[in-house]
Amino acid sequence: MPPAEVESNTRSLEGKIASLKLEAPASNTSQLPLGPSIITRPTVSREESASLSELAPKEIQDNLHPKFIPARYPPIPVVNEPATRIRRKSSLLSAATKIIHLTPSIGTELHGLQLNALTDKQKDELALLAAERGVVFFRDQSITIEEQLGLGRYYGPLHIHPNTGAPENFPEVHVVYGDENSKDFIALGYPRQRLWHTDVSYERQPPGVTTLKQITVPHVGGDTLWSNSYQAYETLPDEYKKFIEGKTAIHSAQEQSDNAEKAGLPLKRDPVEHEHPIVRTHPITGWKALYVNPQFTRRIVGVPKDVSDRVLKYLYDHISNGEDFKVRFSWKKDSVAVWDNRVTVHYAIGDYFPALRHGVRVTPHAEAPYYYPSSKGQYEDLVAKGFKGGAVGF
């Protein structure tokens, strides 16, 4: 039984949400379509598509091309994430030749480091930096796919995606690939908001520290946005915080698997659903983060469907409209992003079609999400400890 105050606030917010009415459109616009219109895109040859991008060497492209090979894997067992209690980042940061903070609360670019040469201490410090800053960027990285997999295994057992293609010899690699034949979801009228996600949140133990290397990039376009989930939580109205804290939501792989089957692709594992807290606590920072996303979150447990739908719609709008806690990264060939999937959502901008874009993601499992009522918001904790502004974590 929740405390009386929380129960009262919950009922109050449910009542307010249930009483909301969608306004009817004006009569002269009542026949307008509700979704975005289909956008015209050019039709090009493979050679024309390649001319729009900075390409990886052919042998690397071929080696890391996604292949849909029938394979079946058992359900993922409970895994243990290597714990880190590192609280300083001096070994990592002192080795960087330049540190660029892209926004105050999310996104830092480190120069002068090679990810394949990090010591174990620097790897631990990188995990802390990603937990604090959300995402860390590196340019001109020589790390090979074998080394990228090794770095991923340092942070936890590697996820095998249940229904996407992988390089023939590397089933743990998730390939991010677009070319002249790929579906341009925005051009097809796919709602932009639905593209915001945290990777495979439907798993029992979704990812933590995740890496993506772009080996082929468009000359222009193809950026990625990340949003700070600490701030997505902390900037919510108090009523919403009280309503969602302690509640859980269902995250499902069913729609993704159904779409793969409709496309004739082999499923490597049966679709799963898992229940996760809507506000989760990060195990290293102890900060609260909003943990829902429009791709995989389906419903809030224990509330009427109409209330669940309206609350989730509000939370998705809040995430997608939160310009003050986002960062946008412009990729170059051999750039790598290292982000913490527990405390960010991201959005790959599909403005580059029909150019080539080819990246390889390595995705270690983390702990099962949990919520500690005593945990604090990001700035709530930092300000209490004397933070005076500037870049979080520095």
- Known catalytic residues are 197, 199, 346, 361
Q: Rounded CA gap, 265 and 322, in Å?
A: 35
Find the helix packing angle between 4-19 and 305-320, rounded to 10°.
Answer: 90
Locate 345 and state its tokens: 């959502």
Tokens 């579906």, located at residue:
183
The residues near 20 (Cβ < 8 Å, ≥ 6 apart) are 310
**DSSP-assigned beta bridge partners for residue 227:** 326, 345
Locate 325 and state its tokens: 């806690």
Q: Rounded CA gap, 257 and 2, in Å?
A: 37
Q: Rounded CA gap, 256 and 271, in Å?
A: 8
Whether 125 and 394 have beta carbons less than 8 Å apart is answered as no
Whether 173 and 65 have beta carbons less than 8 Å apart is answered as no
Q: 364 by DSSP, 3-state: which?
A: strand
Element (H, E) at 357: strand 357-362
Q: Rounded CA gap, 108 and 135, in Å?
A: 7
Q: Rounded CA gap, 221 and 66, in Å?
A: 22
Q: Rounded CA gap, 93 and 110, in Å?
A: 8
The residues near 162 (Cβ < 8 Å, ≥ 6 apart) are 73, 253, 256, 257, 267, 268, 269, 270, 271
**DSSP-assigned beta bridge partners for residue 176:** 359
Q: 178 by DSSP, 3-state: which?
A: strand
Burial class (CB in 10 A: 0-12, 13-18, 19+), 281: buried
